[in-house]
A and B are shown apart, each in its own frame.
Chain A
Amino acid sequence: AQTVTQSQPEMSVQEAETVTLSCTYDTSESNYYLFWYKQPPSRQMILVIRQEAYKQQNATENRFSVNFQKAAKSFSLKISDSQLGDTAMYFCAFMSFFYGGSQGNLIFGKGTKLSVKP
């Protein structure tokens, strides 16, 4: 069974600085997807970034980028130029590959609470 581990329950960063959130996972599969979702105080889950395991290039989305290390099963999220609106819970998640017959269910980590301070 797949597992996702986020070892940092809480983190804080000053506005405009850079912060990295850690995520490790365990799987025996070779093809899969990895995600970072954020959940602000409104509790709406928002997709931040998505990575396909077969792609070597790290995904980027504006100020958000990932460091995907497949062999190490590590998937960290870097937030550059942090903004007050980035304050949220961040969840790392794993999904098995569709063509492997996956139902598409996500395996979530326990989350990291990020506070951006002015």
Chain B
Amino acid sequence: GAVVSQHPSWVICKSGTSVKIECRSLDFQATTMFWYRQFPKQSLMLMATSNEGSKATYEQGVEKDKFLINHASLTLSTLTVTSAHPEDSSFYICSARFLGGFSGDTQYFGPGTRLTVL
């Protein structure tokens, strides 16, 4: 159990276009999902916290107008990178918060999306 999917796994786009990344909790409901960015050989950097039915909370330094987050249901959160530029190229990872059961309060991660902006 506690599986999180992420789509697409890899996307290449032209500079100036927008890209949408989907994150789904497949076998549990997640009131909170998280979006991370990871540069090569570095740790995960939290970009924003997404709560179902409310506006996302962005970390300091993350442009909310560039990285649009929508958490429309208890199993789906989306990250849209608007007007993407080469410096937005990175590995983006989502996670979903699982509450309850034997595992208690835990985050489970999607497989990540590699974004390349040309």
Contact = CB atoms under 8 A, between A and B. Distances in A.
Contacts of A97: 105
Interface string B25-52: 0000000101000100011101001010
Contacts of B107: 35, 95, 104, 106
A108 B95 CA distance: 14
A104 B42 contact: no
A91 B43 contact: yes
A46 B44 CA distance: 13
Main secondary structure of the interface of B (DSSP, over half): strand
Contacts of B97: 104
A111 B95 CA distance: 18
Contact of A44 (B49, B57, B109): B109
B18 interface: no
A35 B34 contact: no
Interface residues of B, number: 24
Nearest to A110: B43
Contacts, number: 61
A64 interface: no
A98 B109 contact: no
A33 B109 contact: no
Given A103-B51, A104-B32, 14 more contacts: A43-B93, A43-B111, A44-B112, A45-B44, A45-B95, A47-B106, A50-B104, A104-B97, A104-B105, A106-B107, A108-B43, A110-B42, A110-B43, A111-B43
29 contacts: A37-B109, A43-B93, A43-B112, A44-B109, A44-B111, A44-B112, A45-B93, A46-B109, A47-B106, A47-B108, A50-B104, A95-B107, A98-B99, A98-B104, A98-B105, A102-B105, A103-B32, A103-B51, A104-B34, A104-B97, A104-B99, A104-B107, A105-B34, A105-B46, A105-B49, A106-B44, A108-B44, A109-B43, A111-B43
